């Protein structure tokens, strides 16, 4: 879980001219305002840099717990990526995502089929619900699916109705891509108008993860650029509400 703590030590010099009794209130107010701005900047970054399937769900994952907000006696705020959206953590640093838990492949869904929808566990096309198993030299499953091996790695294919998509025989097909699916005839991949298929998943041993989250750089930038004006405003508001 990514966490970023906004601490009062680096900005306490802003308080030197404030009414002593109002310093705790000003500090808490300034830290919370600054944290809110940093949180919103990070959420906007998610909108700009990610193709989010569940927008509100992911945005709520950039959170500040009530217990982690600044008070008059606790001058600190913690902004974090919630464990519910911990998959965002791996986008903080560029690298390679590999299978875990004993699995050999990552199942990469075909966006042309699934669009932006989340493939829920109850979805008939969820990998575990396909029940792929070997019969002779073929791997077949539910929902009219089967698996083939290509130069790009295994693919899970689904048969469709007549005239939809393209058809090809199972086996090792050379130079097969998502755009060039067809039936082997005379060494060539050709369209077949009598049946159709669609690629559901590509199975890969690893996938490249780009640096997109920019959690620490985003919040650091907001703190560096906005701390001085935010705390000047907080001091002004604290002084305006001081009891005479």
Across residues 217-234, what is the average pLDDT? 90
Q: Which residue has the higher pLDDT, 5 or 160?
A: 160
Q: Which residue has the tokens 């992911």?
A: 58
Q: Where are the beta strands (DSSP E) in the chain?
A: 3-7, 62-63, 76-81, 95-97, 106-109, 133-135, 138-141, 145-150, 153-160, 172-173, 183-185, 188-190, 196-204, 207-209
Q: Which residue has the higher pLDDT, 189 or 16?
A: 16
**What value does the mean pLDDT of the chain take?**
77
224 and 208 in contact (C-beta within 8 Å)?
no
184 bridge partner residues: 189
What's the pTM?
0.56
CA geometry: angle 118, 124, 125, nearest 5 deg: 60
Could you write out the DSSP letters of every residue in 150-172?
Answer: ETTEEEEEEEESTTSSB---SSE
List the single range of 56-60, 164-168, 213-217, 240-244 with lowest mean pLDDT. Answer: 164-168
Question: pLDDT tier at 174 (50, 70, 90 boundaries)?
Answer: very low
How far apart are the C-alpha atoms of 202 and 157, rounded to whole Å?
Answer: 9
Q: What is the pLDDT of residue 130?
A: 94
How far apart are the C-alpha atoms of 122 and 129, rounded to whole Å?
Answer: 8
150 and 176 in contact (C-beta within 8 Å)?
yes
Q: Which residue has the higher pLDDT, 27 or 166?
A: 27
180 and 165 in contact (C-beta within 8 Å)?
no
How far apart are the C-alpha atoms of 42 and 50, rounded to whole Å?
Answer: 12
Residue 240 CA, chain-centre distance (Å), reads 43
Q: Is 51 helix (H, G, I), strand (E, B) or coil?
A: coil
Q: What is the pLDDT of residue 131?
A: 94
Q: What is the pLDDT of residue 238?
A: 86
Q: Is 69 helix (H, G, I), strand (E, B) or coil?
A: coil
Q: What is the pLDDT of residue 4?
A: 63
Instruction: Note the pLDDT tens digit of each residue in 57-113.
Output: 999 999 999 999 999 999 899 999 998 888 888 777 665 555 555 567 788 888 888
């Amino acid at each position: 879980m990514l966490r970023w703590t906004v601490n009062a030590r680096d900005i306490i010099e802003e308080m030197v001219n404030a009414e002593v009794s109002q310093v705790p209130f000003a500090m808490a107010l300034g830290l919370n305002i600054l944290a809110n701005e940093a949180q919103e900047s990070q959420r906007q970054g998610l909108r700009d840099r990610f193709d989010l399937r569940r927008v509100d769900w992911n945005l709520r994952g950039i959170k500040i717990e009530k217990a982690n907000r600044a008070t008059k006696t606790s001058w600190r705020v913690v902004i974090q990526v919630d464990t519910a959206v911990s998959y965002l953590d791996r986008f903080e640093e560029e690298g390679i995502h590999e299978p875990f838990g004993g699995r050999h492949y990552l199942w990469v869904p075909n966006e042309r089929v699934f669009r932006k929808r989340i493939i829920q566990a109850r979805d008939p096309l969820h990998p575990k619900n396909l029940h792929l198993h070997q019969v002779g030299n073929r791997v077949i499953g539910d929902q009219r699916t089967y698996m083939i091996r290509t130069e790009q790695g295994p693919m899970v294919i689904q048969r469709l109705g007549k005239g939809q998509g393209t058809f090809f025989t199972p086996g090792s097909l050379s130079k097969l891509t998502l755009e060039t699916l067809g039936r082997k005839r005379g060494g060539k991949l050709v369209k077949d108008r009598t049946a159709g298929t669609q690629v559901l998943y590509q199975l890969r041993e690893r996938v490249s993860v780009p640096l997109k989250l920019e959690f620490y750089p985003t919040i650091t930038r907001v703190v560096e650029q906005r701390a001085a004006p935010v705390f000047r405003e907080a001091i002004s508001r604290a002084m305006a509400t001081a009891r005479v």
